[in-house]
Each structure stands twice: as structure tokens, then as C-alpha cells.
Amino acid sequence: MKILIELFIAFAKIGVCTFGGGYAMLPLIKREIVENKKWAQEEEIFDYYAIGQCTPGVIAVNTATFIGYKVKGVSGAFAATAGVVFPSFVIISAISAFINRFSHIAVVQDAFNGIRVVVCALVLNAVISMVKKGVKDVLTFFIMLVIFALVAVFSINPVFAVLASAIIGIIAGKLGFRKDKAKQ
Amino acid sequence: MMTFIKLFYEFLKTGLFSIGGGLATLPFLKDMAQKYPWFTSHQLTDMIAISESTPGPIGVNMATYAGFKAGITEGGILSGLFGSFTATFALVLPSVIVIIIISKILEKFRKSKTVDDAFYGLRPASAGLILGAMLDVFISALFFGDKLDEIINVFDIVNIFNFKAIILFLVSFILIMKLKKVHPILFILGGCIFGIVFR
């Protein structure tokens, strides 16, 4: 029971601090889950993000479910998910009940102009460590670059991007093209 | 009661079929705005603004807000809250089930070479995806896109740079790199204060 409460609180904390969608959550997950609680390793988080892209639902929720399940099975999955959703639930309900045109308030807009910039810096920092862990040879560098270009320029569906790169990984492994250390 | 059943059904569908991030729920919400008297497509724009300027995953925020608007058509604030709960629960349920199943499968095959190979390809892709998806956010945070139309000569290009934001970005990025022990929320708080003070 104690671990379920811990999961709920840890993910509620992440939920409160997440401005601007699931990707903005990455730096906080890294801090709370990987560094503080040591419930998962950094690489695993990246794997969850990749899988979360091609499974239904919100990425933030998918990642919470993954980590919750890993820590404490099905009940852990539900506790973590409830945690990550809880702050939004409270805040949005309060706003929709009492404040009209919340996002048009000048102070709110000013605050968010600042927050958005800092979130960009935080995400960039998290992605840099992601690149360090994931890009280990020429092929992986190429995969990252191509996927970035396809998403940024042609807005391709992430589902295809994820499936294609998994298949490339499997083929590369089978043909012995992997040049990273992990290969035996 | 019918409203809540419909709400549950609609958001279950949204949760099951919106793949790849929060704004993927948008087409489904547009469809709902046309089919039901819960909210208008004009309110949907407000909804996006609110979801983006409050903490939490955008998809969940949208569901909570839409659920509240739908619920309140049935009665007071309490039924609004129940609507929020119904929509959020329905949105999350399919993905929780799917992820639990995937976790079970992964647990079994974690050691397999094929799964390891798949992740070898997935990890760099995941980094590329996030960078690609964040590019719009980067650009809109650091540049004035709307000033692009006002460019008449070369010197006007300077106007598209949001220098205040770029300085904040560089300073916070350096601090984040240097001060690894500081919790991310403190940087976010700093950004919030900067935004209000240097408006």
C-alpha cells in the first residue's frame, strides 16, 4: 500500500509540474523517477516514450502506466496513472467552474510566455542526454536525423516513424550492422 | 444519465484511437462539438488555450474540461465534476489496458535479441520525434512568427527575433546544464517570474 501511495504522489508531482504536454514531462520524470526514486533507468524511460508514441492514448499517461506497472504490477499502473491525472482534474475543474476566459488574463499570459521558454530549455537538455544514450553509431545517428526531418518538415504520423525505426533496428541486428557496444 | 453514458463512450473512443500525443484528441473533440450540445467549436479554441496554459498532459486537460462542460448541461457543478471524472476515466482506460498488456509481453521478451535490436532503432527515433514535435513550440517561444509578414527589407529580419525570450532561453539552458541538482520546477518558477516581471 505504501508503494502505491508513493507512486501516486510522485506522479501527481510530475503532473503538477508539467506545462505543455507529455514531452515537457521528460525532465521531471528523469528527476523524480530515475534520479530520486530509482524506479527505472533513463534508457527505459526513452523506450516507454517511443512505445507511448505508437500506442493509443496520451503519452504522459502511457509513461506513467509503464512505470507504475514496472514498480508494482497492475495496481501500480493504476496508482501512477491516477496520480498523473489528478492535478489536471482538480485544476481544470476549478478553472471551468469559477474562472471564465482564464487564458485571457494578462498575468497568466505573461507568466506562460516565460514558462514556455524555460520548458524549451529543459526539454532540450533532456533530449541531449537522450541522444547521448541512444545515438551510438552512424546508423542510429542517421535514424534520429531522418525521423526529426520527417516529423518537423513533413509532419509524418509518429506511428509510422516508430514502427519503421523498430524494424530497421531488427534488420540491422539480424544482418550484423549494429556497431554499438551493446552488441555481443 | 444518458449524457454520462455518451460522454463515457465518446471519450473511450477518443482514448482508443488518438495516437501520438495530446493534440491527437482534437479531431475527436471537433466531432463531439458537432454531434452534441456539450460545447461549441468556438469553446474548443478556449479549451486548447486553457489546456496549454495549465499543468498536466493536454489530452487529459481537454477531456476534463470537455467533461465538465458536458456534465454541467445536466445540472450544477457536481454533475460537471462527475462529467470531468467520466471523461477523464474513459480517456485513460484504453491506454492503461493496452500498456499493461505491452508491459506483460515486454517482461517476457526483454532478454530477447530481437527486442533489443528493436530498441536500438527506437531510441534514436524517440529523440528525433521529440525534437521534431517540439520544433513548433521552440519557434513560437523564441520568435515572433506573426512579424514575418511585416518584413520589407533585410533589416526587418531583426524584428522576428524575440530577444527577451532568446536571452531567457540561453541563460536558463546554461543554468540547467550547470546546476544539475536543482529541481526542474524551480527553473519553471523562475521562468514564470521572469515572464511577469519583464512583460
Residues of A in contact with B61 (CB under 8 A): 88, 92
Exposed, middle or buried, A138 (CB in 10 Å: 0-12/13-18/19+)?
exposed
Instruction: Identify whether the C-beta of residue B133 lies closer than 8 Å to the C-beta of residue B58.
Output: no
Print the domain residue range for A25: 2-130
Distances (CA, A) of A155 to A131, A144, A160: 21, 15, 11
Q: Is the pLDDT of residue B22 over 60?
A: no
Q: Is the pLDDT of residue A79 over 80?
A: yes
φ, ψ at B143 (rounded to 5°): -130, 155
Query: Are the Cβ atoms of B199 and A151 closer than 8 angstroms?
Result: no
| Cα separation, A147 vs A138, whole angstroms | 14
Query: Distance (Å) from the C-alpha of residue A114 to the closest C-alpha of chain B?
Result: 4
Exposed, middle or buried, A106 (CB in 10 Å: 0-12/13-18/19+)?
exposed
What is the residue-averaged pLDDT of chain B? 83
Asked if residue B75 and residue B118 are part of one domain, the reply reads no
Asked if residue A141 and residue A98 are part of one domain, the reply reads no
Query: Which neighbouring-strand residues pair with B161?
Result: B143
Asked if residue B101 and residue B71 are part of one domain, the reply reads yes
- Cα dihedral sign, A131-B195-A9-A93: negative
| Cα separation, A91 vs A112, whole angstroms | 16
Asked if residue A57 and residue A75 are part of one domain, the reply reads yes
Asked if residue B97 and residue B8 are part of one domain, the reply reads yes
Q: How many structural domains does chain B have?
A: 2
Percent of chain A topping pLDDT 70: 93
Residue A51 region, left (φ>0) first, then alpha (ψ -120 to 50), else beta? alpha
B191 has a chain A CB within 8 A of its CB: yes
**Closest Cα partner for B57 from A73, A160, A7, A92?**
A92
Which three cell numbers mark B62? Answer: 481537454
pLDDT of residue A183: 45
Q: What secondary structure letter does DSSP report for A180?
A: S
pLDDT of residue B151: 67
Instruction: Grade residue A184 by pLDDT with cuts at 50, 70 and 90.
Output: very low
Exposed, middle or buried, B185 (CB in 10 Å: 0-12/13-18/19+)?
middle
Q: Which amino acid is at B50?
A: I
| Cα separation, A121 vs B36, whole angstroms | 40
Which three cell numbers mark A159? Answer: 506511428
| DSSP structure string for B47-61 | HHHHHHTSBS-HHHH
3-state DSSP assignment of residue B161 = strand
- Judged by CB atoms within 8 Å, which residues 135-154 of A form the interface with B? 135, 140-141, 143-152
Asked if residue B151 and residue B75 are part of one domain, the reply reads no
Asked if residue A89 and residue A14 are part of one domain, the reply reads yes
Average pLDDT value for residue range B72-95: 90
pLDDT in tens, A129-163: 878 878 888 899 999 999 889 888 887 777 778 78
Instruction: Identify whether the C-beta of residue A55 lies closer than 8 Å to the C-beta of residue B99.
Output: yes
- Judged by CB atoms within 8 Å, which residues 79-108 of A form the interface with B? 81, 84-85, 87-89, 91-93, 95-97, 101-104, 106-108
Asked if residue A165 and residue A92 are part of one domain, the reply reads no
Q: How many structural domains does chain A have?
A: 2
Q: Is the pLDDT of residue B3 over 80?
A: yes
For residue A150, is it within any domain?
yes
When scoring B126, B161, B174 by the number of chain A Cβ atoms within 10 A, the one with the most, hence best to mutate, is B126
Residue with the three cell numbers 493504476: A78
A124 has a chain B CB within 8 A of its CB: yes
Asked if residue B134 and residue B89 are part of one domain, the reply reads no
Instruction: Identify whether the C-beta of residue A68 lies closer than 8 Å to the C-beta of residue A80.
Output: yes
Which three cell numbers mark B189? Answer: 518558477
- Cα dihedral sign, B139-B141-B146-B152: negative
- Judged by CB atoms within 8 Å, which residues 92-111 of B form the interface with A? 92, 94-96, 98-100, 102-103
Residue with the three cell numbers 535479441: B113
Query: Are the Cβ atoms of A117 and B168 closer than 8 angstroms?
Result: yes
> CA gyration radius for chain B?
22
Which residues contact residue A182 at a Cβ distance below 8 angstroms, ignoring those fewer than 6 apart?
A: A136, B116, B120
Of the listed ranges B20-24, B62-66, B157-161, the least confidently predicted one is B20-24
Asked if residue B91 and residue B131 are part of one domain, the reply reads no
Asked if residue B121 and residue B184 are part of one domain, the reply reads yes
Asked if residue B148 and residue B78 are part of one domain, the reply reads no
Residue with the three cell numbers 540491422: A172
Query: Which neighbouring-strand residues pair with A56?
Result: B19
φ, ψ at B19 (rounded to 5°): -115, 130
Q: Biggest alpha carbon distance in chain B?
A: 62
Instruction: Grade residue A72 by pLDDT with cuts at 50, 70 and 90.
Output: very high
Instruction: Grade residue A112 by pLDDT with cuts at 50, 70 and 90.
Output: confident
Asked if residue A154 and residue A76 are part of one domain, the reply reads no
Instruction: Grade residue B147 by pLDDT with cuts at 50, 70 and 90.
Output: low
Asked if residue A84 and residue A123 are part of one domain, the reply reads yes
Print the domain residue range for B117: 113-197
Asked if residue A76 and residue A58 are part of one domain, the reply reads yes
Which three cell numbers mark A67? Answer: 512505470
